[in-house]
Amino acid sequence: MKAYKGSEDYRKLADSTKEHWSPWLDKVGQYFGPLQIKQFDRPEKIRPIIRKWRNRWADRPRSADCGLQVLSRVLAFAVEDGKIAGNPCEGIGRLYKGGRSDIIGTDADIAQIKKTCSPEIANAIDLAATTGLRLCDLLRLTWPNVGEDAITISAGKSGHKRTALIPLYDDLRAVLDRIPKRSISILTGVRRRPWNTNSFGTAFYRAQVDAGMRGNNPLHFHDLRGTAATKFYVAGIPIRVIAEILAWEEEHVEKIIRKYVGRSAATKALIAQLNRK
């Protein structure tokens, strides 16, 4: 574990990924630490042990799969380092079968959670739903990132190699105008300090509970990226540009637009785009 954390592979991870993986790396070390590395070269023996460990979180399949992903990454590093011949995690299926790629936070979802959440959480929801930024980038967003015509920020998931450029359309300007400037960071908690992903995740979970939104298919913060896609479209931003902003395929954007944007709104948006051309 120490060798992996000191590796170039680990250093290249986004800060948000390191923060998310850190507790899992601790769990991996605590459970598998007493084993000798050569035991991982016997897949028929080690795989049942890995499954048993993974299944500790079977009631939370996404968490279980995340744990398996982290363990697999560590073992892949051991393979590259010549410590073992193969990765025994390969071939172990995921527990989480659902997919949220076409799910968005609807206006009704947003209205429901905003009835009971704090103004700080409401600001984060509104900004996510109008920028489409991932949470890690949203929490890094500062007022200097807001230019005259667009928000510009390097994307953490790309290792800061890609820059997100989000036009300041009317809805987004309105959201920014009503967020108080308490810090260089646009989003802050109740103590006027910037969030980190853990503190925000805890606060958003509590907001979901307070709003009665922790049922079988609760609103995920990530769903608000799809919400932003619909708002971009209605604001007249071309699908090609929306795909570039969100780093999605154009076909995926079109699928969300067809599913969630009402025919009337879609028609008005198309007419506006044609008029501008």
Homologous superfamily of domain range 107-276? Intergrase catalytic core (1.10.443.10)
On whether the pTM is more than 0.85, the answer is no
Report, as an integer, the average pLDDT of 253-264: 78
How far, in Å, CA of 38 to CA of 234, rounded? 57
DSSP code string of 177-210 = HHS---SSBS-B-TTS-B--HHHHHHHHHHHHHH
Q: Is the pLDDT of residue 200 over 60?
A: yes
Report, as an integer, the average pLDDT of 119-125: 96
How far, in Å, CA of 162 to CA of 156, rounded? 8
- Residue 96 has a CB neighbour count (10 Å cut-off) of 12
Per cent of the chain over pLDDT 70 is 88
H or E segment to which residue 239 belongs: helix 239-246
- In tens, the pLDDT along 62-95 reads 788 889 989 998 998 888 888 998 889 987 877 8
Domain ranges in the chain are 2-80, 107-276
